[in-house]
Amino acid sequence: MKNKVDTIINTKWILLIKPKNKVIENSSIVINNSIILDIDDTDIIHRKYESKELYNLNTHCIMPGLINNHTHLSMSLFKGIADDLNLDAWLKNKIWPLETKHVDNEFVELGSKLAIIELIKSGSTCFNDMYFFPEVTAYASLELGIRASLGLITIDFPSNYAQNSEEYLEKGLNTRDKLKNETLVSFTMAPHAPYTVGNETLKKIFTLSNELDLPIHMHIHETENEIIESIENYNQRPIERLLDLGLINPNFIGIHAVHLNSDDISILSKNKANLVSCPISNFKLGSGIPNAALQNSEKISLSFGTDGSASNNKLDILSEARVGSLLAKGISKDATKFNSNDALECLTINAAKSLGMENKIGTIEKNKVADIIAIDFNKIISQPIFNPVSHIVHAIDRENITHSWVNGKCIMKDRNVLTIDENLINQKVQRFVKKF
Amino acid sequence: MKNKVDTIINTKWILLIKPKNKVIENSSIVINNSIILDIDDTDIIHRKYESKELYNLNTHCIMPGLINNHTHLSMSLFKGIADDLNLDAWLKNKIWPLETKHVDNEFVELGSKLAIIELIKSGSTCFNDMYFFPEVTAYASLELGIRASLGLITIDFPSNYAQNSEEYLEKGLNTRDKLKNETLVSFTMAPHAPYTVGNETLKKIFTLSNELDLPIHMHIHETENEIIESIENYNQRPIERLLDLGLINPNFIGIHAVHLNSDDISILSKNKANLVSCPISNFKLGSGIPNAALQNSEKISLSFGTDGSASNNKLDILSEARVGSLLAKGISKDATKFNSNDALECLTINAAKSLGMENKIGTIEKNKVADIIAIDFNKIISQPIFNPVSHIVHAIDRENITHSWVNGKCIMKDRNVLTIDENLINQKVQRFVKKF
């Protein structure tokens, strides 16, 4: 008698990620109770199991869901509102005034939902966010069924969300207490940046990170100016200062890291910190080229983030990995660098590791949670196919991604997000932004 | 009584390109006898004209068709066959042996058709190609209804197409004679590169270019090695040598130009030569970063090309402009550089000028030929919209491009190419590449 299971997916290729570069053909994945129960030849699977749900995706490649490891989801409502501005002017003249005027619960709910729809349609099954009102984004994630890592944001100046660092931390910890048993939701301590958070607050955050075993999610070394100011104010580069405060450790997720000297690299590498590169945002805001992070990806575990929609202007994590991979080749003048496997490890297992979830997601393996996407290669503009791995990075578009499962549940089918009314959100967004 | 015309397109936005940055809203375009007859408010147009064909594209932006200004179309059959290799190894160990084994009329016909379908679906209404058997690509273009600039390729070594430079030139000129009265087809003299074509052949090509008033389409300064070898062999940098031979003039279209020193820039600028940047291919082949070309776009007329699918691996010219624009900002650390208008001028009027077609295509203007695309902004992942111009460069994907008209004729509607059976080509390609 056959085993009864929730779901079987038959497919042409499965990219496992681990072992590196391993693609198996004409195989099936069995999902039961949100777990990958089995992976084998399609014939064998169908002799052993029968399923409630069956997907025949015979021109597709299945791979682990992509992780967008740095976002400010709600800012999707500001997509394209502030182009061609350097980071400083962009923040001070555009984004901060807009945030003061508009950011509240309603803004964050709608912006998060819009962004999560885009994430799902871009192949992301998990994101790592940093923004005000993280509780609202958490509930939007639960509604849409995506896996969420939410930054408990802390800044030493007031916003519409909190008045001072104590209030930021208190609200953040309350949010975590409320939601800590949700399977799909996890948290990071998220001090905004070395130039917006002082030592006293950082010490508290370090203690909390240890007590609660939470990663620390923080912008670092995004612009040259940030480093110059830190030397003026602290007589240290930001990474040196964070090291002294204890923050640079395997739980640290440093975002951007555009400007790194050899000491910075050695500190990050020795202390096994994680970096997230957001090359498109760095370019677009004139911050520079995150070359050091890309060239040292063998020494420092690297993943990618899109940053927010106000500085990208897409949440297309595949594009980010493509640009990162191309850049690593172009700047080193060595095309053998940062191949497509490296790029896809960044989007899956490396990001999972930085979030402390490497035993749960990031590869297609038995007993891991089924966070999975399917990519259709049958479009004419995707033909011919010689190597599915390089095809994912260099030849397809996010539009080729047709299906998505998170925690074993199908949340996108044939590019329709199943967990929300997309048209309703589209209409709401078009109405909402009229006031900006 | 109303004027009878061929086509009216009603739309939300029209991006004219000239005047720079000008977007008009709620307007219509009238096409008659392949020409843009009128552009005005939708109300006014419908009082004046009645049309055989009417398109209501009320969530769309209309703009001039994009020009992919450097391609090797047939190589689409080699998409992804040779990844993570430096240019030299890529050519010598992979591409040249494959070409020797497989390139013939049949290969070029199928490869060109596959690539033209991708071009059309990427918003290109015109391309500038360089490959063997240009006559075959010309007929494929005529069948699919796209505007084609075909390079009469010349190399000083044998291929499956011709044995020596005389035969290349003879075959090229015969092709031109046969097709010179076709509206959609034009030609360039296409000496492959300074390192593959000697001075005698280049002198002949210079004479022919003058006699026939044809642009010269040539790879230049793609790698550092090419420059080093030229100094060894000719005691001159390639651009200096081409200048001495008379080739550097307003009819010159130099491709890649990754490595330019200030003398090169001054020569190109003073002689009003045109450059085509292919940043993604340059990155992917480890050739370097085309920074000088991007940073000097105010001095030297710049456009973009994707290069062939074997080194990109897409023919997505919008991505190319996006990457070029981002790179110009990132490397200069100045986000105000190379804004979205600049990027879209590169893809339209600048490319048209390099091909000698600036009076015919490249802007939406009365009396120009109707080479036009429509971009749908209504997808939820494209919301919200504050600035349609930056949206085209930074927020949409090629999948948003829904309609295309070339010479007034609709060749893509709702993303279906109307001039060929896409599925048939898809099946043929999948069968054909099995032998590689």
Q: What are the tens digits of pLDDT across the range A23-51?
A: 999 999 999 999 999 999 999 999 999 99
The HSE-up count of residue B377 (CA atoms within 13 Å, CB side) is 26
What is the structure's pLDDT at A74?
Answer: 98
The pLDDT tens digits for A264-321 are 999 999 999 999 999 999 999 999 999 999 999 999 999 999 999 999 999 999 999 9
Q: Which of A323, A384, A387 sits opposite B429 (nearest CB)?
A: A384
Interface contact A397-B288, CB threshold 8 A:
no
**Domain definitions of chain A by residue range:** 3-64+363-417, 66-354
Interchain contact B384–A (C-beta under 8 A): yes
Interface contact A286-B336, CB threshold 8 A:
yes
The candidate with the shortest Cα–Cα distance to A394, out of A305, A309, A329, A299, is A329
Structure tokens at A283: 């370019």
Residue of A nearest to B334 (CA): A286
Residue of A nearest to B378 (CA): A426
Superfamily of domain B3-64+361-417: Urease, subunit C, domain 1 (2.30.40.10)
User: How far is the C-alpha of A97 from the C-alpha of A105, rounded, in Å?
Assistant: 17
Residue of B nearest to A323 (CA): B323
Q: Which residues of B touch A399 (CB under 8 A)?
A: 397, 399
Let me know: does B191 contact B216? Beta carbons within 8 Å: yes
User: How far is the C-alpha of B176 from the C-alpha of B207, rounded, in Å?
Assistant: 16
Let me know: does A61 contact A11? Beta carbons within 8 Å: yes
Q: How close B53 gets to chain A, by Cα (Å)?
A: 28
Q: How close B12 gets to chain A, by Cα (Å)?
A: 15
Q: Between residues 111 and 140 of chain B, which touch chain A (CB distance below 8 Å)?
A: 114, 117-118, 121-122
Q: Which of B327, B387, B397 sits opposite A399 (nearest CB)?
A: B397
User: How far is the C-alpha of A393 from the C-alpha of A320, rounded, in Å?
Assistant: 10
Let me know: does B45 contact B361? Beta carbons within 8 Å: no
Strand order in the sheet with A409-413: A35-41, A23-32, A3-15, A49-64, A372-376, A401-406, A409-413, A416-417
How many CB atoms lie under 10 A from the CB of residue A320?
A: 31
**Strand blocks (E) in B268-348:** 274-277, 302-304
Whether residue B1 is predicted with pLDDT greater than 90 in this model: the reply is no
Let me know: does B345 contact B20? Beta carbons within 8 Å: yes
Give Cα separations from B66 to B24, B184, B405 (angstroms): 19, 15, 11
What's the mean pLDDT when you consider all of chain B? Answer: 97
Interchain contact A383–B (C-beta under 8 A): yes
Range A200-227 average pLDDT: 97
Q: What is the radius of gyration, based on Cα positions, of chain A?
A: 21
The candidate with the shortest Cα–Cα distance to A5, out of A26, A27, A36, is A36
Q: How close A54 gets to chain B, by Cα (Å)?
A: 26
Pairing, β A416-417 against β B3-15: unpaired
Strand order in the sheet with B216-220: B66-71, B124-130, B147-154, B185-191, B216-220, B252-256, B274-277, B302-304
What's the mean pLDDT when you consider all of chain A? Answer: 97
Q: Between residues 217 and 236 of chain A, which touch chain B (CB distance below 8 Å)?
A: 224
Residue type, A235: N
User: How far is the C-alpha of A308 from the C-alpha of A287, rounded, in Å?
Assistant: 15
Which has more confidence, B91 or B148? Answer: B148
Interchain contact B280–A (C-beta under 8 A): yes
The candidate with the shortest Cα–Cα distance to A153, out of A113, A103, A118, A226, is A103
Strand, coil or helix: A105:
helix
Q: Between residues 294 and 313 of chain B, which touch chain A (CB distance below 8 Å)?
A: 312-313
- Contacts with B170 (C-beta within 8 Å, 6 or more apart), sequence order: B162
Q: What's the gap between Cα A378 and its chain centre?
A: 27
Terminal alpha carbon distance of chain A: 62
Pairing, β B416-417 against β A252-256: unpaired
Assign a CATH topology to domain B66-354: TIM Barrel (3.20.20)
The pLDDT tens digits for B268-309 are 999 999 999 999 999 999 999 999 999 999 999 999 999 999
Interchain contact B419–A (C-beta under 8 A): no
Interchain contact B329–A (C-beta under 8 A): yes
Q: Is A250 left (phi over 0), alpha (psi -120 to 50) or beta?
A: alpha
Q: Which of A77, A319, A333 sits opposite B286 (nearest CB)?
A: A333
Give Cα separations from B44 to B48, B58, B311 (angstroms): 6, 16, 48
Structure tokens at A169: 């931390």
User: How far is the C-alpha of A47 from the C-alpha of A249, rounded, in Å?
Assistant: 48
Mutate to test the interface with A, among B333, B339, B393, B421 (most CBs of A within 10 A): B333
Tally A–B CB contacts below 8 A: 202
Q: How close A135 gets to chain B, by Cα (Å)?
A: 23
Let me know: does B374 contact B27? Beta carbons within 8 Å: no
Give Cα separations from A25 to A39, A404, B78, B217 (angstroms): 11, 19, 22, 43
Q: Between residues 4 and 63 of chain A, which touch chain B (CB distance below 8 Å)?
A: none
Residue of A nearest to B340 (CA): A84
Interchain contact B398–A (C-beta under 8 A): yes
Mutate to test the interface with B, among A394, A421, A431, A436 (most CBs of B within 10 A): A394
The pTM of this model reads 0.98
Whether residue A21 is predicted with pLDDT greater than 90 in this model: the reply is no
Give Cα separations from B198 to A83, A392, B204 (angstroms): 47, 40, 10
Let me know: does A61 contact A12? Beta carbons within 8 Å: yes
A19 preceded by a cis bond (ω within 30 of 0): yes
Q: What is the radius of gyration, based on Cα positions, of chain B?
A: 21
Q: What is the CATH number of domain A3-64+363-417?
A: 2.30.40.10
User: How far is the C-alpha of B436 from the C-alpha of B427, rounded, in Å?
Assistant: 16
Strand, coil or helix: B50:
strand
Interchain contact B81–A (C-beta under 8 A): yes
User: How far is the C-alpha of A149 from the C-alpha of A144, rounded, in Å?
Assistant: 14
Strand, coil or helix: A3:
strand
Interface contact B80-A385, CB threshold 8 A:
yes
Q: How close A19 gets to chain B, by Cα (Å)?
A: 20
- Contacts with B341 (C-beta within 8 Å, 6 or more apart), sequence order: B20, B21, B389
Interface contact B286-A335, CB threshold 8 A:
yes
Structure tokens at A358: 């490497």
Give Cα separations from A56 to A28, A371, A408 (angstroms): 9, 18, 16
The pLDDT tens digits for B232-256 are 999 999 999 999 999 999 999 999 9
The model's confidence at residue A1, banded by pLDDT at 50, 70 and 90, is confident
What letter does residue B369 receive in the DSSP assignment?
B
Interface contact A313-B398, CB threshold 8 A:
no
- Contacts with B374 (C-beta within 8 Å, 6 or more apart), sequence order: B9, B11, B55, B57, B60, B61, B62, B401, B402, B403, B404
Pairing, β A23-32 against β A3-15: antiparallel
Structure tokens at B300: 């030297």
Let me know: does B369 contact B408? Beta carbons within 8 Å: yes
The candidate with the shortest Cα–Cα distance to A328, out of B414, B288, B171, is B288
- Output the CA angle B429-B430-B436, nearest 5 degrees: 85
Residue of A nearest to B393 (CA): A313
B313 preceded by a cis bond (ω within 30 of 0): yes
Whether residue B21 is predicted with pLDDT greater than 90 in this model: the reply is no
Let me know: does A166 contact A187? Beta carbons within 8 Å: no
B105-121 helix and B422-432 helix, angle to the nearest 10 degrees: 130
Range B411-428 average pLDDT: 98
Structure tokens at A113: 């939902």
User: How far is the C-alpha of B174 from the C-alpha of B45, rounded, in Å?
Assistant: 45
The candidate with the shortest Cα–Cα distance to A11, out of A388, A367, A383, A317, is A388
The predicted complex's ipTM stands at 0.97
- Output the CA angle B398-B368-B275, nearest 5 degrees: 60
Pairing, β A3-15 against β A49-64: parallel
Let me know: does A364 contact A63? Beta carbons within 8 Å: yes
Cα-Cα-Cα-Cα dihedral sign, residues B167, B170, B173, B174: negative
Interface contact B83-A339, CB threshold 8 A:
yes
Structure tokens at B105: 């009329």
- Contacts with A332 (C-beta within 8 Å, 6 or more apart), sequence order: A295, B286
